[in-house]
Structure 1
Amino acid sequence: MSVPQVRRAVAALRGHAGRVNCVRWVRRRDGGELLEFKLCEIFSCVQLVKSIPLKGHTEAVFAVDAVCQSDEPDFNVLIASAASDSTVRIWSRHGSEAKCIEILQFGNGFVMDVCLSFLPGSDVFIQFQKVLILPGHEDWIRGVEWAVCGEDLFLASCAQDCLIRIWKVCTKLKQLPETEDDSIKLKENIFTVKDADTSYAVSLESVLAGHENWVYAVHWQPSFSKDGSIQQPMRILSASMDKTVIIWEPDKESGVWLEQVRVGEVGGNTLGFFDCQFSPDGSMIIAHAFHGALHLWKQATINKKEWTPEVVISGHFNSVEDVKWDPEGEFVISVGFDQTTRLFAPWKRKEETEVTWHEIARPQVHGYDLRCLAMIGRFEFVSGADEKVLRVFRAPKNFIENFSNVTGIPMEKLCSHVSMLKQFLILIGDMAVQPDEDEESFNTISNQYPEIYFQPLILTEPPPEDHLLQNTLWPEIQKLYGHGYEIFCVACNNSNTLLASACKASKKEHAAIILWSTSSWKKLQSLSFHNLTVTQLAFSPDDSFLLAVSRDRNWSLWRRENSSESGPVFTCCAYTDKNTAVHSRIIWSCDWTPDSKYFITGSRDKKVIIWGQCDLSVITEGNGLDSIKPCSTVLDAGDSVTAVGISRVLTPDGRYIVAVGLESGKIILYTWKQSGKEPTLADWTTGVEIDNSQSHALAVKRLCWRHHAGRAGHNDENSSKWLQLASCGADHCVKIFNVNRFAL
């Protein structure tokens, strides 16, 4: 089976209401289908992709296995599911019907894993009746898996005693007659199966000791045999909390199982591997780490014992709270409750035409859940977390060089402007290095990273997980103190001169917005109006206004005045209160139209409203903003609105493109244009509702349009056709959508 070089997400299987605990392929000779588990609030069940719910467990389901009874098109499938209700349920599925045929009770026992298989020379499934207990492990058994080798059946088990045990099951008739010599013999456990004449012998084949911590998973290399014979070497893959994955193989002469390959992590802040798998042809292995990351290694073509890290899909492993495009639209940065800041960029393999997105840097690894960020120019950002401090980060020179290598964007273009060149020079250390200084000084890395912690990399492709963990951090150049509680939102104006931030608040004095200077990092002003947490901030594209929306169900609009040494920078010029408010629930999100004439708000009350001076004839220079009111009819989105975003590029007929994200995970694209002095429902047009398989599984947290037309990483002949929308959600995902603006 050939393995495609382009690795990307091809589908999202939705339907679960809670965390997915386990996935398994149904084992059959001509292919497979995916099984998933879901954890529900009231009950747990197993669900097939074909939407056949198997309900019955009263607690969370944690392990599953399935195997086909025949190779017929309308095949029968036997499924075993283990749950924390101390039962294993056996299900039979035929076509579109499925039912529970047996329940195995384990008292107060907690079943960690299940695996089904045929007995040698029999159509009887093991685990239907209790026939044997195999003692040996001295701690919890975390994984089991069967493998067929000719007429014999092998079972591999792993446990928290750091050991792997291999058991052999064969028919008793096959055993050699007993002899009277002094050779060492392993104890055999004999059992028979009801309604079957054959007896079976189980013996301990080998004990594998090599891991130094709990062994969480053990898997056999796939054989793809049609006649019961092994077509590939008999090998075992194991994953452990000791941060290693080991390939085991029996010696050809002695038959003793030996460690052949060991890969894993060195250092870092991870806690080991939970699971692992072989690729179908055994040339690649993948492992799942404690912190949610996938690790992929590929076998060298010449030296078969050499395995090298490969590019793999990566992402957040908890809710993603915010995402932003860089000003030039070449990459996105996101933050989440997994306490990391991640940078994703498009990449195209050599001799490949498809562009895929990959994580190429992890600028920040924090000790608190991250909630918001804002870009300050192209290679600088500020982030806010569940602490009272804002932190500012700036890219090291090494990142910009690698970004150029990976994306193919020339360094000259990245540093084309004088201001960018000055920033680029600052990136390499605490003090700017002038162009006429020596080359050695120019190429040093920031002094904030001693070499023991930070090793500059030369990359031509996205880095593997171990490098992302340690060698792609950005130096922290500033901390901003001033808020009394956890930071909740932050925004930067378009000229990159001002920051606005707000924190969690239950009183007016704590809900104040703080303005900061990005040149001196000094606090400029405190804007007090709201009574509860300000949920989002947005500067108008022309930097004339600052918009704030809050949990108190109101918005406030602040106008920039001619600043002086003693005077304020912004003054409140419009707002809603209990008498004028339209929203009846928390306002979660807001954004501006590209011409700065209108702004949009989205609320938990399912309402989306566009605000501005509705009588276009009275908009004159210096005109007051007292007339700001809804310029659109209230758009009922059908669910709680958690994110809104307006594209800076209009439709060909001059309509604004509005993206609305819902608590259900759906994203809907609308177009809007004021057609008269009075708002009408006809002003709104539904463009596209993102397909259920492509939308988020949980609440959409943020929507952010690329500032200009075109697709990052593509050389589109007609770039004006495409727009790109970045979204992030509570389902741990960051998504990039290509939108054809001519189709809206």
Structure 2
Amino acid sequence: MKEDVFEVKGKKYAVSLETVLAGHENWVYGIHWQPSFMDGKCITGGTVEQPLSLLSASMDKTMILWGPEEESGVWVEQVRVGEVGGNTLGFFGCQMSPDGSKILAHAFHGALHLWQKDPGQQIKWSPAVVVSAHFNSVQDLSWDPEGEFLLSVGSDQTTRVFAPWRRKDCSQVTWHEISRPQIHGYDMQCLAMVGRFQFVSGADEKVLRVFKAPRNFVENLANIVGTSMEKLLASHDVVGLPEGASTPALGLSNKAVFQGDLTIKSTQEEGQDINRVSDQYKESYFHPLSLTEPPPEDHLLQNTLWPEVQKLYGHGFETFCLASDAAQTVVASACKASKAEHAAILLWSTSTWKQLQALPCHSLTVTQMAFSPDSRLLLAVSRDRTWSLWRCEDAGPKASEPRFSLYTHTSKDSAVHTRIIWSCDWSPDNKYFVTASRDKKVIMWGHRGSDEPVGMNNSAVTPCSSVLDVGDSATAVAICPSLLSDQSYLVAVGLEGGQLLLYKWRPADDLTSGSDWSRCAESDVSQSHTLVVKRLRWRPRVCQQEETEGWNHQSTSVQLASAGADHTVKIFNINTLAL
């Protein structure tokens, strides 16, 4: 090859081709030289030695570590790592640690992939724990009723489970994704937990899907979180449960994989005769895992799915919001609607998964719903700027399912909000509920002048607070499940601009002065989301194992999770003594 000679600022340079590295089967999007080292320290001046190796990342789902042979000096492929299968594309970029023991890639779908060299072995590399998260807007989230883990859904078409990882070698606790129960073909919009290990999800399709945790998830959750299997199994019957789940090619439903299926598959892999075509092309790609640390990306894509146990049909348009009651008996769902006939709320039985009722009231999309803590009332807020309140009638000994009827609602004439009501929530004592709207207003509602829960007397449900102007469109609101020391309510508000605000509210006779509200904290630029806050959820309780030095979670703090359109889920520790 011809040597090119050129001059820059009086210095001559000669460039010639040394070698061609051929091995990738698709576009190469990233390369990275390993930093030069001498006696374990990076060279900052003088003559720089030839780099030890070169890392390349490609859209063929592989990364290759290239280096010269010691004897010949010819550059060859030393290590190749990557993904096999899955529904992702390849890698966009790569980085190598200074000592050459770790290599990192970022994939087309936003995930990070980390491999590290096994000690004492030059060619054996293993996947390592790395941060993972949504790569599009996070639309909804929900805590496990015991507060041990968190579920979220997003426009990246995934449902993800996050939990605290308690390392055995140190006291540090960090949050990681431990399961990806659903990888879908539609953008996810909403979810609702039904008990500890079952949830319902809705996407940009007309179908609701119900998922139940497999045995393998429960076992791994106990190992990663650091709790006992007996404690988890007390609330989850694993007898007869599948080991895991897999998704068929071009399918949307996660099919259960049982222990027998795994036995058949392993027997076939031992070389026994395969007589049927269906045996040769099994749909199951699931392999049970025994985890003591969060799984890497390739396992999350393939081996942490939850089986789908039911599909719920009934909506005419894309599902938009979901809610479940504390008694775990009813799930409420709503879809996008531009007419009253499509804006009806559908109620589903969690025992039979049959539709119980349709609740018509609103004329446009119901944006959010919330059951009262005692499961007596269902609150719904809508794009039509009104809210409705539905009361569970006494089912009686002969009735097998609860029935709801319209208790009260606001109309265009009586509505206080003048724009879309985005969010709502209940106080822990059932006495009040809160609404938050695009008109920048946050309002507490209840029986004014009464100390009884909502719906327990015949007086009207009216504003019990002054109108709180938060300065920006209020897109999410949540009331802390425990009262503060001064018996006030702690209310979190999420704004369209990404900021989170904390307010204390106490009932007052005089609602004209606005003294019933007091702002006690707000997120700064580093803590706020960079886009819309989509959902706020207070953690039901905090595990004692998470107590860290100088911070007693049990007595002085609460935790708040927020979902944002900026692809992030944030969990905040809030010291209640400082409010």
1:649–1:709: 8 Å Cα contact kept in structure 2?
no
Q: Quote the Cα distance in structure 2 between the aligned partners of 1:461 and 1:620.
A: 45
Q: Compute the displacement of 1:709 (Å).
A: 5.0
The reply to whether residue 697 of structure 1 matches residue 530 of structure 2 is yes
- Picking from 173, 197, 208, the partner of 1:379 is 197
Deviation per residue, 1:481-538 (Å, 9 max, x gap): 0000000000000010000000000000000000000001110000000000000010
- Picking from 58, 61, 73, the partner of 1:243 is 61
The residue number in structure 1 matching 2:34 is 221
The residue number in structure 2 matching 1:600 is 434
| 1:284-683 → structure 2 map (5 Å cutoff) | 284-416=102-234, 420-421=235-236, 423-428=237-242, 452-563=284-395, 569-616=403-450, 622-625=456-459, 627-676=460-509, 678=511, 680-683=513-516
The residue number in structure 2 matching 1:188 is 3
Q: Quote the Cα distance in structure 2 between the aligned partners of 1:713 and 1:413.
A: 17
2:446–2:454: 8 Å Cα contact kept in structure 1?
no
1:649–1:707: 8 Å Cα contact kept in structure 2?
no
- Larger deviation, residues 709-718 vs 294-303: 709-718
1:246–1:263: 8 Å Cα contact kept in structure 2?
yes
Q: Quote the Cα distance in structure 1 between the aligned partners of 2:44 and 2:328.
A: 65
Q: Compute the displacement of 1:620 (Å).
A: 9.8
Q: Compute the displacement of 1:233 (Å).
A: 4.7
The residue number in structure 2 matching 1:164 is none
1:241–1:271: 8 Å Cα contact kept in structure 2?
yes
The reply to whether residue 706 of structure 1 matches residue 548 of structure 2 is no
- Flag the 1:549–1:712 CA change in 2: closer, same or farther, 3 A: farther
- Flag the 1:494–1:426 CA change in 2: closer, same or farther, 3 A: farther
CA RMSD of aligned residues (A): 2.3
2:432–2:454: 8 Å Cα contact kept in structure 1?
no
Deviation per residue, 1:377-422 (Å, 9 max, x gap): 0000000000000000000011100101111110111123xxx24x
Q: Quote the Cα distance in structure 2 between the aligned partners of 1:488 and 1:672.
A: 30
The residue number in structure 2 matching 1:122 is none
Secondary structure in structure 2 of the residue aligned to 1:645: strand
- Picking from 503, 506, 517, the partner of 1:684 is 517
- Flag the 1:575–1:562 CA change in 2: closer, same or farther, 3 A: same
How many pairs align? 541
Secondary structure in structure 2 of the residue aligned to 1:413: helix
Secondary structure in structure 1 of the residue aligned to 2:239: helix
- Flag the 1:567–1:377 CA change in 2: closer, same or farther, 3 A: closer
Deviation per residue, 1:423-459 (Å, 9 max, x gap): 33253389xxxxxxxxxx9966899x96831111000
Q: Quote the Cα distance in structure 2 between the aligned partners of 1:380 and 1:445.
A: 23
Q: Quote the Cα distance in structure 1 between the aligned partners of 2:202 and 2:24.
A: 40
Q: Quote the Cα distance in structure 1 between the aligned partners of 2:228 and 2:145.
A: 17
Secondary structure in structure 1 of the residue aligned to 2:217: helix
- Flag the 1:246–1:620 CA change in 2: closer, same or farther, 3 A: closer
Structure with more relative contact order (C-alpha pairs < 8 Å, separation 6 or more): 2
Q: Quote the Cα distance in structure 1 between the aligned partners of 2:569 and 2:309.
A: 27
- Flag the 1:672–1:567 CA change in 2: closer, same or farther, 3 A: same
Q: Which has the larger radius of gyration?
A: 1
Secondary structure in structure 1 of the residue aligned to 2:32: strand
- Picking from 200, 225, 240, the partner of 2:13 is 200
What amino acid maps onto 1:388 in structure 2?
A: K
Secondary structure in structure 2 of the residue aligned to 1:524: strand
The reply to whether residue 724 of structure 1 matches residue 559 of structure 2 is yes
Q: Compute the displacement of 1:199 (Å).
A: 2.5
- Flag the 1:451–1:711 CA change in 2: closer, same or farther, 3 A: farther
Secondary structure in structure 2 of the residue aligned to 1:686: strand
The residue number in structure 2 matching 1:165 is none
2:326–2:373: 8 Å Cα contact kept in structure 1?
yes
| 1:152-191 → structure 2 map (5 Å cutoff) | 186-191=1-6
Q: TM-score, normalised by structure 2?
A: 0.89
What amino acid maps onto 2:16 in structure 1?
A: S
Q: TM-score, normalised by structure 1?
A: 0.70
Q: Quote the Cα distance in structure 2 between the aligned partners of 1:308 and 1:263.
A: 9
- Flag the 1:585–1:312 CA change in 2: closer, same or farther, 3 A: same
What amino acid maps onto 2:341 in structure 1?
A: E
1:492–1:499: 8 Å Cα contact kept in structure 2?
yes
Deviation per residue, 1:279-305 (Å, 9 max, x gap): 122211100011110000111110022
Q: Compute the displacement of 1:544 (Å).
A: 0.8
Q: Compute the displacement of 1:253 (Å).
A: 2.3
Q: Quote the Cα distance in structure 2 between the aligned partners of 1:268 and 1:187.
A: 44
**Structure 2 unaligned residues grouped into runs of 5+:** 37-41, 245-256, 266-281
2:208–2:312: 8 Å Cα contact kept in structure 1?
yes
Secondary structure in structure 2 of the residue aligned to 1:205: coil
Q: Quote the Cα distance in structure 1 between the aligned partners of 2:2 and 2:165.
A: 57
Q: Compute the displacement of 1:678 (Å).
A: 4.4
Q: Quote the Cα distance in structure 2 between the aligned partners of 1:710 and 1:671.
A: 25
1:709–1:721: 8 Å Cα contact kept in structure 2?
no
- Flag the 1:466–1:709 CA change in 2: closer, same or farther, 3 A: closer
Q: Compute the displacement of 1:231 (Å).
A: 6.2
Secondary structure in structure 1 of the residue aligned to 2:216: helix
- Picking from 6, 15, 25, the partner of 1:212 is 25
2:367–2:421: 8 Å Cα contact kept in structure 1?
yes
2:188–2:204: 8 Å Cα contact kept in structure 1?
yes
Q: Compute the displacement of 1:562 (Å).
A: 1.5
The residue number in structure 2 matching 1:4 is none
Secondary structure in structure 1 of the residue aligned to 2:341: coil
Q: Compute the displacement of 1:563 (Å).
A: 2.7
Secondary structure in structure 2 of the residue aligned to 1:693: coil
Secondary structure in structure 2 of the residue aligned to 1:509: helix
Q: Quote the Cα distance in structure 1 between the aligned partners of 2:377 and 2:400.
A: 20
Secondary structure in structure 2 of the residue aligned to 1:424: coil
Q: Compute the displacement of 1:669 (Å).
A: 0.9
What amino acid maps onto 1:722 in structure 2?
A: S
Q: Quote the Cα distance in structure 1 between the aligned partners of 2:116 and 2:204.
A: 39
Q: Compute the displacement of 1:681 (Å).
A: 1.2
The residue number in structure 1 matching 2:269 is none
What amino acid maps onto 1:561 in structure 2?
A: E
Q: Quote the Cα distance in structure 2 between the aligned partners of 1:618 and 1:293.
A: 50
Q: Compute the displacement of 1:622 (Å).
A: 4.5
Q: Quote the Cα distance in structure 2 between the aligned partners of 1:712 and 1:554.
A: 43
Q: Quote the Cα distance in structure 2 between the aligned partners of 1:582 and 1:303.
A: 69
Secondary structure in structure 2 of the residue aligned to 1:260: strand
Secondary structure in structure 2 of the residue aligned to 1:353: coil
Percent identical pairs in the alignment equals: 61
Q: Compute the displacement of 1:617 (Å).
A: 6.2
Secondary structure in structure 2 of the residue aligned to 1:488: strand
The residue number in structure 1 matching 2:272 is none
Q: Compute the displacement of 1:642 (Å).
A: 0.6
- Flag the 1:426–1:216 CA change in 2: closer, same or farther, 3 A: same
Q: Quote the Cα distance in structure 1 between the aligned partners of 2:516 and 2:425.
A: 18
2:531–2:564: 8 Å Cα contact kept in structure 1?
yes
Q: Compute the displacement of 1:677 (Å).
A: 6.2
- Picking from 242, 249, 260, the partner of 2:78 is 260
**Structure 1 unaligned residues grouped into runs of 5+:** 1-185, 431-440
